A and B are shown apart, each in its own frame.
Chain A
């Protein structure tokens, strides 16, 4: 036949499942040939577990990793609950990659400021590791990451050891409230961002996190004189097809699954506030 069905998943195997926090697990999926498909940071994939169904997740591993894809998944609904229960060796369905991904060319040569909250680190992590693998292509890298409590910070080994040790790379961690044993910074992410007062010069800010955090991060960046073109975020919507046809993830005439999920603040301002 002329066209294959893009809704048909391929088969992958769960290689490893690691608890990051009480609510978040990272799943490592691979096909027989290793990485099931090529992608760019910021793109997503649809994970299938019949009979529970399918859901879309951002890929959190870097494209440089050729053996598997990683997904950090928070337990919020039926599919994610079922995924959390799985054990290594389980076969699953997977299709993708979906979405535009981060504008890698536009980031080249720039200083990068990553601002993540909670599970929002997942899509940023793919891009951070991509940049660190090509360290010479980018300027300074600053990573501001926060969560409700220290227990809710994900990818501990990377955020506390690997990234701070990388050249010209700084990591700023924060939690919302004092916590026994936590000696790091205590503040909401947007407040810490204002305090750190990054200069907008030659810098791009890339943010992902809960909607309330994003709202105040955008405000803080504006106060630091970041232009809307210098601010990038990645959105989430309910999705079914992933290819711009099923009709549910539109914001105005754009579909988050294919025109997004990555948008600049300048692009978002052109759209109705329906996300």
Chain B
């Protein structure tokens, strides 16, 4: 059954949902839009496609401390830190970011050993997907068979209709979210049983036309040309829904402190720099090649799917346009 809520009453819905635990919503932070815990009066933006940073940060946060240590003389105490993930709701995820989550799941959830920090957030978070009414000019998720109006892996699908949101439960957890909203929700309007179908462009690419045989093209001269414009800023890796590299560091002093995990970037020289000074990926050429081959060859070899969701963030944000569409084209991937 389709339920409906007027846009003017969404704040009340957020108030109810946030009583369960953290409620993540796309919040404006200056010119940036990213998924942050909602609080009263927060600047929610459920219209803009797409958030600046992908929704991956709900499950793999920018940084999180996972144990604290205390040292006294020769003694060392290690205490795991508790997470605040219980009964969270992630509201407003787009279909591309949900596909990205599937890719992270293979690494952090399905591959043994599972990542306890990620898994706990994943299991404790109900997801409300939001259909894209209109794709942005840089969107190309349709290339990967994603329907921006029908997300896989969500508990509840939402879509804009008139002056409000239609809500359709997809799982028991989704039903529970709806019933918790009680009388705030009305019966859905007639003729709005399904979100309207939406297609994005594909920049003239076709899935079957994507570059194959990359194993043999490791030394292809195309890499010599491609990497030159790269600034090595790492922005692509932070905004990308399928980038997940991380670092582990200690913060504190001799007696007391924390170990935390934070996002890292394969675009940085230090990423693979070894203590003795050897670096297997010493220049931007090796680093750019590794990042794009990870998307187009390494991840697919390991997990069976190209690690791109067509979210378009790298097309929008890379200052030198070294985005995945340019790379696919340079490798000869064109529509046939």
The residue in chain A whose Cβ has the minimal distance to the Cβ of B249 is: A53
Shortest Cβ distance from residue A117 to the other chain B in the assembled complex, whole angstroms: 14
Tell me whether B192 is interfacial, beta carbon within 8 Å. no
Q: Interface size on A (CB < 8 Å)?
A: 48
Interface residues on B, range: 35 or more
Q: Tell me if B66 and A3 are in contact (CB < 8 A).
A: no
Q: Tell me if A3 and B247 are in contact (CB < 8 A).
A: no
Tell me whether B113 is interfacial, beta carbon within 8 Å. yes
The 0/1 profile, CB within 8 Å of B marked 1, for residues 172-208 of chain A is 0000000000000000000000000000000000000
Tell me whether A65 is interfacial, beta carbon within 8 Å. no
Tell me whether A248 is interfacial, beta carbon within 8 Å. yes
Q: Kindly list chain A residues whose C-beta atoms are within 8 Å of the C-beta of B111.
A: 244-245
Tell me whether B297 is interfacial, beta carbon within 8 Å. yes
Shortest Cβ distance from residue A201 to the other chain B in the assembled complex, whole angstroms: 33
Shortest Cβ distance from residue B224 to the other chain A in the assembled complex, whole angstroms: 15
Q: Tell me if A8 and B251 are in contact (CB < 8 A).
A: no
Q: Tell me if B246 and A240 are in contact (CB < 8 A).
A: yes
The residue in chain A whose Cβ has the minimal distance to the Cβ of B265 is: A247
The CA of A11 and the CA of B79, in the complex, are separated in Å by 11
Query: Given A50-B69, A245-B108, A253-B297, do A76 and B275 touch, yes or no (CB 8 Å)?
Result: yes
Query: Given A87-B74, A252-B298, do A246 and B246 touch, yes or no (CB 8 Å)?
Result: yes
Q: Tell me if B302 and A245 are in contact (CB < 8 A).
A: no
Among B67, B107, B244, B251, contact of A51 (Cβ-Cβ < 8 Å): B251
- Considering only residues 246-260 of chain B, those with a C-beta below 8 Å from chain A are 246-254, 257, 259
Tell me whether B115 is interfacial, beta carbon within 8 Å. yes
Q: Tell me if B298 and A238 are in contact (CB < 8 A).
A: no
Q: Kindly list chain B residues whose C-beta atoms are within 8 Å of the C-beta of A9.
A: 78
Query: Given A5-B115, A87-B74, A247-B266, do A52 and B250 touch, yes or no (CB 8 Å)?
Result: yes
Tell me whether A274 is interfacial, beta carbon within 8 Å. yes
Q: Tell me if A50 and B257 are in contact (CB < 8 A).
A: yes
Tell me whether B207 is interfacial, beta carbon within 8 Å. no
Interface core residue of B67, B257, B275 (most chain A CB under 10 Å): B275
The CA of A55 and the CA of B218, in the complex, are separated in Å by 30
The 0/1 profile, CB within 8 Å of B marked 1, for residues 221-264 of chain A is 00000000000000011101101111111111100000000000
Contacts between chains A and B (CB distance < 8 A), count: 138
Q: Tell me if A93 and B76 are in contact (CB < 8 A).
A: yes
The residue in chain B whose Cβ has the minimal distance to the Cβ of A51 is: B250
Shortest Cβ distance from residue B63 to the other chain A in the assembled complex, whole angstroms: 14
Q: Tell me if B248 and A54 are in contact (CB < 8 A).
A: yes
Tell me whether B183 is interfacial, beta carbon within 8 Å. no
Q: Kindly list chain B residues whose C-beta atoms are within 8 Å of the C-beta of A265.
A: none
Q: Kindly list chain B residues whose C-beta atoms are within 8 Å of the C-beta of A250.
A: 290, 294, 298
- Considering only residues 82-129 of chain A, those with a C-beta below 8 Å from chain B are 87, 89-93
Shortest Cβ distance from residue A214 to the other chain B in the assembled complex, whole angstroms: 12
Tell me whether B19 is interfacial, beta carbon within 8 Å. no
The CA of A244 and the CA of B114, in the complex, are separated in Å by 11
Q: Kindly list chain B residues whose C-beta atoms are within 8 Å of the C-beta of A76.
A: 275-276
* 9 further interface pairs, Cβ-Cβ under 8 Å (given A9-B78, A11-B78, A253-B301): A2-B119, A3-B114, A7-B116, A53-B250, A76-B275, A77-B275, A237-B272, A245-B115, A247-B245
Closest 5 CB pairs of A and B: A77-B275, A247-B245, A5-B116, A91-B76, A253-B298
* 8 contacts across the A-B interface (CB closer than 8 A): A3-B116, A6-B113, A11-B78, A93-B78, A238-B274, A240-B248, A246-B264, A247-B245
